[in-house]
Structure 1
Amino acid sequence: MIPLAFKDNFSRQAALYAQFRPVYSPELYAYLASLTLAHELAWDCGTGNGQAALSLAQFYARVVATDPSPQQLSHCRPHERVSYRVEQAEHTDLAAHSADLVTAATALHWFHFEAFYAEVRRVLKPGGVLAAWAYGVPTLTPAVDAVVRRLHDVTLDPYWQPENRLIDSGYATIPFPFQHIPSPVFSYEKPLNRLDLLGYLNTWSATQRFLSAEGYNPTEQVAQELQVIWPDAATQHVATWKLVLKVGRVSDAR
C-alpha cells in the first residue's frame, strides 16, 4: 500500500512537545476502560511522545502506540506493556479484530478520515470502542488569557491549518461513522510558571510555521507582555484545558 501524505507538523519541536504538552486526566482513561468488555489490547494512534499510551497501560495488558514521526517516538518513555511503532494511523501491522480500544489523543484532525476509519474497523474487535479527543487553548487568568488569545487568534491566524480549526469547532464537523456513546465532560489542570506557558506556546504548529515564514519567534512579544502582568516567572497559575471528546462503538467490524 502506498503511504498517504503525512503532514509532519511536530517533528521539529518534538523535544518541546515532550516537555511542555499537557497530559490527560486519569478519570478519562478509567472511563474509556469501563466501556470495553476486554482489556487485552489498546491501540493509541498518533501517539506523539506516548502520553496517552503510558496511561492506557494501566488498564490494558498490551498497548501498541503508533506515530509516523520517528522524532516524536524518540522521546517516548519505555514501558513493559507498550510497543512503539513508526506507522501511519491509516495503515498498521496490527492483526484484524485484535484491539479492544482505539484512541487518538489530539491527533484525529490530522488523519485521512475515510482510510483511518477503515483501519479502525479492521483492527477493532466487534463491539470495540474508538475514542478521539483534543484540547483547545488553555485558560489561566483573565489577563494572561487575553495575551494568549491574541497570539492564537490574531498573530497566528494565517498560520493555522484547516485541520487545526477542526478543534476550534469542537470536532463538530468531523465525520464519525460509529455508534455514538454519550460521554462526560473532561478537563485537565496543571500549574504552570511563566516559562512553562511560553514553552507550551512554542509547541504549537502555527508558532513554528510563523517562525519559518517570518524569521522570528512570535512568542518573543508574548514573553514581554507576560513579564508585565506576571513579573515573578516562578509564580504558578493553574492552566485548564477542556477536552473535546468523541466516542463510538463498532458493532459490525469485519
Structure 2
Amino acid sequence: MSDTSQLFTRQSDAYSANRPTYDPELIAWLSRQAPDQSLAWDCGCGSGQATRDLARHFQRVVGTDVSAQQLAKAEAGPTIDYRCEPAEQTSLADGSVSLTLVAQALHWFDLERFYAEVRRVSRPGALLAVISYNLSQITPEVDALVNHLYQDILGPYWAEERKHVEQGYRSLPFPFERIDVPPFTLDAQWDLARLLGYLESWSALATYQQAHGSNPLDPLRERFHQAWGDPAASRRVSWPLTVNLGRVS
C-alpha cells in the first residue's frame, strides 16, 4: 500500500481549503439509519469535512487519520474528538460506535484488519457507510480538460489504490449485510479559482511536482479559462456518489 500520510501531508493546505463538503441530506439520512445517535466514527477523516457534518446529528464524533498535518487543519467542535490513529487500530472503546463513516479513504486501509476493528468498536445494529466519488461533472468542455489532466498527464502518478475509486469499490470485499441507499450526489457551486484549487489538491499532482519540479496544471490554465468563460462565474460542480452501507453483525 502507498504511504498515505506522506501523500496527503504534502497537500494538506490545498486539501482542507478546496475539497468539497458532503451532501447534508446524505449525512442526515445515514444518521437516521443508525441504531442511535450516541457516537459516530469518521475514519480517515482528513481535515474533517465529513466529521463536522456528522457532529450535527450525533452526540459525539471521533475523527481519526494517520496524517497529523491533515488533522491540524480540521475545524474543532465541542463534540468532536480528533485522534491521530490508523484505521486498523484505534483507541475507541469496544461496542461504542453507532455509525462508522469512511469517506473517500477505504482504498488506503488494510481491509481485513480494518473490518475487524469495525466489528470490535460497533454496538449492536451499528452501520458501516463507505462513500466514494470519482471525477466531477461540470460542462463537456471543462470535463474534457479535467479528464486530460487526470488521465493523460497524471495517469502514471496516481497511487495504485486509486483504481478502486474509479471502480466505485466494486472489487473490494464488503462482508456486511448490505442496505439499499437512495441516489445521492456531491454538489458545489464554484468559480474557476475554486476548481483549480481543488485540482491542486490531487495527490497525483503533488507526486508529479515532486518528480519534475513543475506544476502540470500551469500549461492548462489558459485552456481552463477559455472553457469556463468568466472566471468569476459560479458553476454547478457535481460528483455522483457511490455509497456502500452495511449493518455490522
If the length of structure 2 is used for normalisation, what is the TM-score?
0.96
Deviation, 1:7, is 2.4
- Listed one character per residue, the Cα deviations across residues 100-156 of structure 1 (whole Å, up to 9, x for unaligned) are 010111111111111100100000012110001011111111111111111111111
Deviation, 1:38, is 1.3
Partner of 2:194: 196
Deviation, 1:188, is 1.6
Distance 1:90 1:142 in 2: 40
The answer (yes or no) to whether the contact 2:2–2:159 under 8 Å persists in 1 is: no
Greater mean deviation of Cα atoms: 228-237 or 56-65: 228-237
Residue correspondence of structure 1 range 52-63 to structure 2 within 5 A: 52-63=50-61
Distance 2:189 2:34 in 1: 32
The letter of the residue matching 2:76 is P
**Is it true that 1:7 corresponds to 2:4 in the alignment?**
yes
The answer (yes or no) to whether the contact 2:2–2:108 under 8 Å persists in 1 is: no
Deviation, 1:162, is 1.8
CA RMSD of aligned residues (A): 1.3
Deviation, 1:5, is 7.7
Q: 2:78 aligns with which of 77, 80, 102?
A: 80
Partner of 1:101: 99
Deviation, 1:6, is 4.3
Partner of 2:25: 27
Unaligned runs of 5+ in 1: none
Distance 1:208 1:6 in 2: 14
The letter of the residue matching 1:220 is D
Q: 1:235 aligns with which of 219, 228, 233?
A: 233
Q: Secondary structure at the match of 1:188?
A: strand
Deviation, 1:224, is 2.0
- Structure 1 residue runs of 4+, over 4 Å off? none
Partner of 2:35: 37
Residue correspondence of structure 1 range 144-159 to structure 2 within 5 A: 144-159=142-157
The letter of the residue matching 1:216 is S
The letter of the residue matching 1:23 is T
Distance 1:231 1:39 in 2: 45
Partner of 1:117: 115
Deviation, 1:228, is 2.2
Identity of aligned residues (%): 42
The answer (yes or no) to whether the contact 2:189–2:235 under 8 Å persists in 1 is: yes
Q: Secondary structure at the match of 1:10?
A: helix
Deviation, 1:222, is 2.1
Q: Secondary structure at the match of 1:162?
A: coil
The letter of the residue matching 1:123 is V
Deviation, 1:241, is 1.0
Distance 1:249 1:114 in 2: 17
Deviation, 1:229, is 2.4
Partner of 1:140: 138
Deviation, 1:231, is 4.1
If the length of structure 1 is used for normalisation, what is the TM-score?
0.95
